[in-house]
Structure 1
Amino acid sequence: MDMLEAESNNMDSQGLVGEDVKATEVPGSGDPGNEREMEQTRPSTPQPSEKPNHIPADRHGPLHRFVALSLYQGLKKQGPIPSVIVFVAGRARQGMPGAQIGPVPVIRMYGVTMEGNSVCCHIHGFSPYFFVLAPDAFTDQHCKPFKDSLNRAVLNDMRSNKEEVQEAVLAVEITKKQSLFGYQGDTLSTFLKITVALPRLIAAAKRLLEKEVIFPVLGNHNYQAFESNVDFDIRFMVDTGVVGCSWVELPAGKYQLRERSKKVSRCQLEADISWEEFVSHAPEGEWSKVAPFRILSFDIECAGRKGIFPEPDHDPVIQIANMVVRQGDHEPFIRNVFTLDTCAPIVGSQVLSFTSEREMLEKWAEFVRELDPDILTGYNINNFDLPYLINRAKHLKVKNFTYLGRIKDIQSVIKEQMFQSKQMGRRENKSVNFEGRVPFDLFLVLVRDYKLRSYTLNSVSYHFLQEQKEDVHHNIITDLQNGNPQTRRRLAVYCLKDAYLPLRLLDKLMCIINYMEMARVTGVSLSSLLTRGQQIKVVSQLLRKNVQERRIETHKRNEHNTAPKVKRRTELTPYSAAAGPRGIGCLLNTIDRHCPISEGEWLPDADVPRGSPGGAVRGCHCDRAQERTITPTQ
């Protein structure tokens, strides 16, 4: 195969990376699993410089590209990253803001510095909250007794308290905002901002306020909830100004680097910081650069039975091909293939042969942990390769195989995921969690973004690259494996090209760049773009605009949708056809279509002018238009 046989390298069938691969470890960065700087070098390839585990106090803190974000009850991060946010429940950390007793939400942010060092940042002190409409007579003196009453109600409502929550409601404060629904001019309404200990307690507090009398001092008030359904990761990113795939800076003296013995991740740098201290840079100018993310593309081959689709409980994994590239480079710097039984050498690639399948799977998992990729890609890896490897390793009882993420004690688990949207319909896929890494399945990306006659890798490669896979039919894979080292070499070349073509397609179609820019524009993480629909993008941008204009979004939108009950409408007739872009909507009225109206243009029933038929009134902001009122006959 021409692309794989470009040059000859020294082969080493015993080690994971061979003699041509050099590992550079950050001093004090931890065990060999943390050795990220593993490079397959050539004489002309410069070696990465070693990065110290100590940042001098007289310079700015570490900068990293934000790739992933996660939340847990307890930590923090720095620099640029691909885009994943994770929440975890942990314990309060001394010197950090937020609750000081019981479990606290901690956000993990994962990224990579411009020098290529991986970063895990634990962000402390940010607590979930929502809003309710305050009673007219509510004052600052009522905040403390209201908080205590709601706190008791939420604690009593818990069926079990495994997390040992001692204080469910942390704060209640009065704020002035304007509801996004309905035209209200410049009038601001009074709302209560209720801060709780954990994200899951928002639903309980909202339900209790709506269905029970929590604070009888001011009578039976309808505590309508606002923004109670906003995801915690989106809330954090909106309030801190963080957007997907942006650069994050930890100012000098504001963060705490973790010692080797206290690290919970495999990243080279791990730090704690307050959510009020880190700096998020807008992706403009110098901050629009793309970090050197490490991308691993892999493919597996199975020895299936004749006429039966491979099953992990019966059919072995016989080969795993890997291609590793840095974002921005066109060619991989690591090319290897793990094979079961001996295999003849392949020019330009490293062949690692094993006598048992269990050993091969163990070594491949070690390879992934040592490589420490930011993005995992391949073709249909979410629905086949990854689940098959995990289930096969489980069947063979391979030790520690499922610890493929960046957090040492979190296993990768297969979950069934149902996705439904008007654009793509209903789709059922599998998903596997890799803490701190982004699974970027090229097959799912192409199905979402392109309309093609066929989505097989062979067809897609020919359509975009005018290249095709190696000529190996799936019916003869088992025969090639049972043959000799030369037949297994033919299969290995086939497997290597199946791992190489997704990288070529990613580079040709600029998929990573396009999704990174979309994450920056919409303000969501990279993983959200891959696993969720269009609404998350709209909600993120809407919330950011609301923060600027002191607006607030109601949760029960459907209850206020009075469009089917309109008793009065406005028909607009343009003065001329040259109404301009803003008048295009009005021109549609000439064919009996009304102008699109936003929620903010509806008047509440109480504000409808006297003499009108009643109901909501529609208006229009078109510049060149006349208004005349028509009462429907129905």
Structure 2
Amino acid sequence: MSTNQTWRRAIDVADAASNEHPVTFMQTSVEDAEVQAHTRSRMRARARVSTVPVVRNTGARHAAGVREAANAVHQGVINSIVSEKAEKAVVRVESLARRSVMHHSRDANGAAHLKITLQRASHVAKYRRALLCVENFKSLGLTLPFDLYEADVDCTLRYMVDTGTVGCAWATAPAKAYVLRTAETRETRCAIELDVDHTKLIAHDASVPPYDGIAPLRVLSFDIECCAKEEHFPHPDLDPVIQIASVLAEVPERHEMRRVYILGSCANIPGATVVACDTETALLRAWSVDVIAADPDLIVGYNVQNFDIDYLLKRAANLRVDDFALFGRVRRKRVESKEATFSSKAMGTRKNMRATVDGRIVLDVMQIVQTEHKLSSYTLNHVSERFLKERK
């Protein structure tokens, strides 16, 4: 079986040749421009402006009064931040008619509020503090802090609300409205990488065909085997990874490719490509390189968050395989596994490891089953027999 012809994601180079044609893609996330973005399957969109707090006006009713108040707020915020870049951070201050959900109002059109648009989401916290400081706005006769609205809205959600975009919706970067990145400026492994002004991006209605569907996805599922001492649970400081079994599926076509990475040698496995490796270092490196080549949109497994990915990262660190953790879509961005705490009334408090693979969604079937079903056991054998009528 040929390695690259079947396993590697096909890339149409013509798509990235120029910006003469519109680029339509399904977005999976939107990040602030200064943050390493999770990468879309076909491109990377950057939101240049984050829109943040709506603040109550100081009582000005007429247009001139509103403009005066807006200018004073703008200058007051800038003066409170000791930085040469403070003035550039505030993109604009504008007056909007809004109604608060907290209080009854007879005004059907709403009262005047000030909407402050900042350049980056990272500016929000310091400017929010500035707005809460009465001393900055003595010229307005302010005796109490401003009431802040929507000051803690996540920048991703803010962008989606402002543009009418929903999760996994389709969007189009019109022809000549974007700038393609060159090989020297690329930060990701996407087929197309471009910069587009967020105001030029067209969000499509997810309920209207053909934008009500899902883009073709590549799904990589995997499982690892370790060699531990008898009756002992594997420990990444001591026990080597001896096998990684991977299945790459293209959805919805359901075309599957199977690959098994083995330490040493083994007999041929029908329907699968066996990658025999002389050392554990070679095994880890071969798997990481092939993940990059396959370019999956989703990485799936059973208990991959708490065990498989975390174990692989620790083994690679122990063996000093420095390039192993670079199998995400963002170049030079290492895959990380950190402890995360989740709390709810139904589930209580749980601590899990959470792997971050930039540009690829990590889906742990075990955590989904634990959340959705109450079972006597959550071992793979028990869950498989319960839902698939099969055993491992």
Query: What is the TM-score when the length of structure 1 is the normalising length?
Result: 0.58
- Which of 409, 412, 417 does residue 340 from structure 2 map onto? 417
2-structure distance, mates of 1:449, 1:51: 44
1:337 match: secondary structure: strand
**Which residue number corresponds to residue 145 of structure 1?**
72
* Distance of aligned partners of 1:72 and 1:305 in 2 relative to their CA distance in 1, 3 Å threshold: farther
* Distance of aligned partners of 1:387 and 1:223 in 2 relative to their CA distance in 1, 3 Å threshold: same
2-structure distance, mates of 1:148, 1:439: 45
| Residue 445 (str. 1) matches residue 368 (str. 2) | yes
1-structure distance, mates of 2:91, 2:161: 21
2-structure distance, mates of 1:54, 1:438: 28
Letter in 1 for 2:390: E
1-structure distance, mates of 2:113, 2:288: 52
Letter in 1 for 2:115: K
2:214 match: secondary structure: coil
Structure with max Cα Rg: 1
**Which residue number corresponds to residue 40 of structure 2?**
111
* Distance of aligned partners of 1:420 and 1:389 in 2 relative to their CA distance in 1, 3 Å threshold: same
After TM superposition, give the deviation of residue 109 of structure 1 in Å: 6.2
**Which residue number corresponds to residue 279 of structure 1?**
202
2:5 match: secondary structure: strand
* Distance of aligned partners of 1:165 and 1:189 in 2 relative to their CA distance in 1, 3 Å threshold: closer
- Which of 216, 223, 237 does residue 160 from structure 2 map onto? 237
After TM superposition, give the deviation of residue 181 of structure 1 in Å: 1.9
Aligned runs of 1:241-390 on 2, under 5 Å? 241-284=164-207, 285-332=209-256, 334-390=257-313
Letter in 1 for 2:122: R
After TM superposition, give the deviation of residue 244 of structure 1 in Å: 1.1
1:203 match: secondary structure: helix
Letter in 2 for 1:286: P
2-structure distance, mates of 1:218, 1:21: 67
After TM superposition, give the deviation of residue 168 of structure 1 in Å: 3.8
* Distance of aligned partners of 1:253 and 1:56 in 2 relative to their CA distance in 1, 3 Å threshold: closer
Letter in 1 for 2:95: I
* Distance of aligned partners of 1:187 and 1:70 in 2 relative to their CA distance in 1, 3 Å threshold: closer
| Residue 432 (str. 1) matches residue 361 (str. 2) | no
**Which residue number corresponds to residue 90 of structure 2?**
169
Aligned runs of 1:31-110 on 2, under 5 Å? 36-37=9-10, 51-54=14-17, 57=20, 59=21, 61-73=22-34, 87-88=35-36, 108=37, 110=39
Task: Tell me, yes or no, if the aligned pair for 2:45 and 2:194 is still in contact at 8 Å.
Answer: yes
After TM superposition, give the deviation of residue 139 of structure 1 in Å: 2.2
2-structure distance, mates of 1:303, 1:433: 26
Letter in 2 for 1:272: D
Letter in 1 for 2:23: P
Task: Tell me, yes or no, if the aligned pair for 1:151 and 1:167 is still in contact at 8 Å.
Answer: no
Q: Deviations over 1:32-62 (max 9, x none)?
A: xxx622xxxxxxxxxx9775422573x5x12
Task: Tell me, yes or no, if the aligned pair for 1:303 and 1:315 is still in contact at 8 Å.
Answer: yes
**Which residue number corresponds to residue 181 of structure 1?**
102
1-structure distance, mates of 2:96, 2:87: 26
2:276 match: secondary structure: strand
| Residue 208 (str. 1) matches residue 130 (str. 2) | yes
Task: Tell me, yes or no, if the aligned pair for 1:109 and 1:120 is still in contact at 8 Å.
Answer: no
Task: Tell me, yes or no, if the aligned pair for 1:121 and 1:273 is still in contact at 8 Å.
Answer: no
Task: Tell me, yes or no, if the aligned pair for 1:387 and 1:414 is still in contact at 8 Å.
Answer: yes
Q: Deviations over 1:524-543 (max 9, x none)?
A: xxxxxxxxxxxxxxxxxxxx
- Which of 129, 137, 140 does residue 218 from structure 1 map onto? 140
* Distance of aligned partners of 1:277 and 1:169 in 2 relative to their CA distance in 1, 3 Å threshold: closer
The alignment covers a number of residue pairs equal to 385
1:123 match: secondary structure: coil
Task: Tell me, yes or no, if the aligned pair for 1:406 and 1:435 is still in contact at 8 Å.
Answer: yes
- Which of 177, 190, 207 does residue 112 from structure 2 map onto? 190
Letter in 2 for 1:149: G
**Which residue number corresponds to residue 29 of structure 1?**
none
Structure 1: runs of 5+ lacking an equivalent: 1-17, 25-34, 38-47, 74-86, 89-107, 113-118, 470-634
After TM superposition, give the deviation of residue 331 of structure 1 in Å: 5.0
Structure 2: runs of 5+ lacking an equivalent: none
Percent of residue pairs bearing the same amino acid type: 31
Letter in 2 for 1:111: R
Task: Tell me, yes or no, if the aligned pair for 2:244 and 2:260 is still in contact at 8 Å.
Answer: yes
2-structure distance, mates of 1:410, 1:111: 15
* Distance of aligned partners of 1:339 and 1:200 in 2 relative to their CA distance in 1, 3 Å threshold: same
2-structure distance, mates of 1:347, 1:310: 29
Task: Tell me, yes or no, if the aligned pair for 1:407 and 1:436 is still in contact at 8 Å.
Answer: yes
After TM superposition, give the deviation of residue 278 of structure 1 in Å: 1.3
Letter in 2 for 1:195: T
- Which of 360, 368, 386 does residue 463 from structure 1 map onto? 386
* Distance of aligned partners of 1:56 and 1:406 in 2 relative to their CA distance in 1, 3 Å threshold: closer
2:234 match: secondary structure: coil
2:211 match: secondary structure: helix
Aligned runs of 1:505-524 on 2, under 5 Å? none
2-structure distance, mates of 1:229, 1:374: 30
1-structure distance, mates of 2:152, 2:5: 48
Letter in 1 for 2:16: N
Q: Deviations over 1:303-348 (max 9, x none)?
A: 112332211111111100000101213452x101101111111111
1:395 match: secondary structure: helix
- Which of 55, 62, 87 does residue 132 from structure 1 map onto? 55
* Distance of aligned partners of 1:434 and 1:223 in 2 relative to their CA distance in 1, 3 Å threshold: same
**Which residue number corresponds to residue 154 of structure 1?**
81
The two structures, once aligned, show a CA RMSD in angstroms of 2.2
